[in-house]
């Protein structure tokens, strides 16, 4: 395995994390992006979703703190809002729970997050940022079995000169604008059809200036969507430099307005007094900005019989998740750790089909995130799934998750609600909730016994023991990597 140069297509979160881990193995790492990299925290044209909220989950915070020491402190130093000790009010159709942040954490904009990571990368001697350059083509060996480089078109000069760059490894981290499927098809490779989830998602976000003396009294507020109601879901939080943001979202084409008066009216119509009180007296900054996403997709490159050596793919270019659940950056961070471990292992113990092994390991982790996305989004009328195989355990998981949310909220059980959150943020395996002992205990909980009767009927349908029925119904996720609860201890 040669390690002279690695090229990363795309300088977003996934590309920056890939550059960080590869810088420990390759003599030179080059990030190529069609946008200009701003010197200050600013959104780029290539990230149309950047104005919408972005957050770190416990898993992504754990990984980023390892890759970039003192990362949270760096964010706070540059204006991010420290959240340790702050309260988050979490509303769902069954009530509200309040949770206090125990860890050293912060809230911020996507622009600040990306700028801070890019700052670490700029200080890495063997990483070069090549902005305002667009990758137009892959270069290959004569038999097209290996990717040897890329063709680049300059975007700085008026004549847009083209040049080539060779590499030992090329990673496509260009997100939803990826051309890898097109490039592979042009080279004669048969690419499997992706799974797709038609969601027709709409976001609208507005920012507000916080008057002096108000910030300390403001908490984070999140209102979960209700599949049985037409009302928008929403969230309010402080981001940075005395600025707060409010986002509304909905599925199946029920877009929140981007017209200021209508946007504010939709917030008031939520009927959430805590949210209305928080926004009272804040000064709007500009108009609400919308973001629309018609569908999600999950590629299956790991199933290809032939894959060119020297090429990998990660981030949204591999699998695009519903941004509502905040899993995208977490999955990119997990993939970066997989990439790091696989390159290290390949250098120490070289094996054939290295790239397909990496793609399979990434896919094993994608499986959990995709399954959780599909199970949740298909609760909404009008959302449609397209795939070669049906989603495992769909109805059971939907009913069970709903019971857990209802019971933990009505009983203010922070242990179960916390477990539910850690699973949905990819910190723990779904099997932590879907093992037979937990399923039996959770469905027995509650005064009415309705959940227990539902479980008994479900078991009787197949005349199989609960352990066996669950193993046949719910994915095992055994190939995925997860964190451990002892890694969740409050950090300084």
pLDDT at 387: 96
Model confidence, pTM: 0.96
For domain 5-48+110-193+299-374, is the CATH number 3.40.190.10?
A: no
Q: What is the pLDDT of residues 427-473, one digit of tens each?
A: 999 999 999 999 999 998 876 688 888 888 888 888 889 999 999 99
pLDDT at 230: 80
Q: What is the mean pLDDT of the chain?
A: 95
Mean pLDDT over 476-492 rounds to 86
Confidence class for position 489, pLDDT limits 50, 70, 90: low
490 pLDDT above the threshold of 70: no
Q: What is the pLDDT of residues 99-136, one digit of tens each?
A: 999 999 999 999 999 999 999 999 999 999 999 999 99
pLDDT at 44: 93
pLDDT at 166: 98
Per domain, the residue ranges of the chain are 5-48+110-193+299-374, 82-108+196-295, 391-488
Q: What is the pLDDT of residues 240-266, one digit of tens each?
A: 999 999 999 999 999 999 999 999 999
Lowest mean pLDDT among 267-271, 282-286, 336-340: 267-271
**Which of the pair, 20 or 446, is modelled with greater confidence?**
20
pLDDT at 111: 97
425 pLDDT above the threshold of 60: yes
Percentage of the chain beyond pLDDT 90 is 90
Q: What is the pLDDT of residues 347-360, one digit of tens each?
A: 999 999 999 999 99
| CATH number for the domain whose boundaries are 82-108+196-295 | 3.30.9.90
pLDDT at 484: 94
491 pLDDT above the threshold of 70: no
Percentage of the chain beyond pLDDT 70 is 98
Mean pLDDT over 293-310 rounds to 97
Mean pLDDT over 171-176 rounds to 96
pLDDT at 222: 97
Confidence class for position 345, pLDDT limits 50, 70, 90: very high
159 pLDDT above the threshold of 90: no
141 pLDDT above the threshold of 80: yes
Mean pLDDT over 37-56 rounds to 93
Lowest mean pLDDT among 168-177, 183-192, 263-272, 441-450: 441-450
Q: What is the pLDDT of residues 390-412, one digit of tens each?
A: 999 999 999 999 999 999 999 99
Mean pLDDT over 158-176 rounds to 93
Cα separation of 168 and 15, whole Å?
17
Q: What is the pLDDT of residues 57-80, one digit of tens each?
A: 999 999 999 999 999 999 999 999
**Which of the pair, 458 or 234, is modelled with greater confidence?**
234
């Amino acid at each position: 395995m040669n390690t002279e140069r690695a090229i990363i297509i795309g300088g977003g979160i996934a590309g920056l994390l890939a550059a960080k881990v590869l810088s420990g193995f390759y003599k030179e790492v080059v990030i190529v992006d069609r946008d200009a990299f701003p010197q200050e925290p600013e959104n780029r044209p290539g990230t149309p979703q950047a104005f919408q909220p972005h957050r770190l989950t416990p898993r992504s915070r754990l990984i980023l703190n390892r890759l970039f020491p003192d990362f949270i402190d760096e964010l706070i130093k540059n204006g991010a809002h420290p959240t340790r000790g702050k309260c988050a009010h979490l509303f769902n159709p069954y009530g509200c729970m309040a949770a206090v942040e125990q860890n050293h954490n912060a809230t911020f904009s996507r622009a600040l997050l990306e700028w801070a990571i890019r700052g670490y990368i700029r200080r890495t001697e063997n990483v070069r940022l090549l902005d305002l350059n667009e990758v137009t083509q892959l270069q290959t060996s004569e038999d097209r079995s290996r990717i040897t480089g890329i063709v680049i078109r300059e975007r700085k000069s008026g004549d847009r000169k083209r040049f080539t760059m060779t590499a030992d490894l090329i990673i496509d981290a260009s997100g939803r604008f990826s051309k890898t499927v097109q490039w592979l098809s042009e080279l004669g490779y048969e690419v499997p059809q992706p799974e797709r989830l038609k969601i027709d998602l709409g976001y609208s976000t507005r920012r507000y200036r916080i008057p002096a003396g108000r910030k300390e009294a403001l908490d984070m507020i999140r209102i979960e969507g209700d599949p049985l109601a037409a009302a928008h879901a929403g969230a309010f939080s402080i981001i940075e430099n005395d600025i707060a943001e409010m986002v509304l979202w909905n599925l199946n084409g029920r877009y929140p307005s981007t017209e200021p008066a209508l946007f504010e009216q939709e917030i008031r119509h939520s009927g959430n007094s805590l949210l209305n009180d928080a926004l009272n007296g804040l000064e709007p900054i500009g108009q609400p900005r919308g973001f629309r996403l018609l569908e999600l997709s999950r590629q299956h490159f790991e199933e290809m019989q032939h894959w060119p050596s020297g090429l990998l793919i990660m981030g949204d270019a591999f699998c695009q998740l519903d941004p509502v659940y905040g899993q995208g950056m977490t999955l990119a961070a997990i993939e970066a750790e997989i990439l790091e471990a696989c390159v290290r292992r390949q250098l120490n113990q070289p094996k054939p089909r290295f790239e397909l092994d990496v793609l399979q390991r990434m896919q094993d982790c994608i499986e959990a995130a995709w399954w959780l996305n599909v199970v949740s989004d298909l609760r909404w009328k009008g959302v449609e799934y397209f795939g070669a195989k049906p989603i495992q355990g769909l109805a059971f998981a939907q009913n069970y998750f709903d019971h857990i949310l209802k019971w933990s909220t009505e009983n203010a059980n922070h242990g179960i609600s916390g477990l539910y959150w850690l699973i949905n943020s990819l910190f723990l395996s779904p099997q932590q909730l879907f093992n037979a002992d937990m399923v039996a205990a959770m469905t027995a909980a509650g005064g009415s016994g309705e959940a227990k009767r539902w479980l008994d009927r479900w078991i009787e349908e197949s005349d199989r023991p609960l352990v066996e029925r669950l193993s046949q119904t719910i994915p095992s996720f055994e190939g995925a990597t997860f964190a451990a609860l002892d890694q969740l201890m409050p950090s300084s």
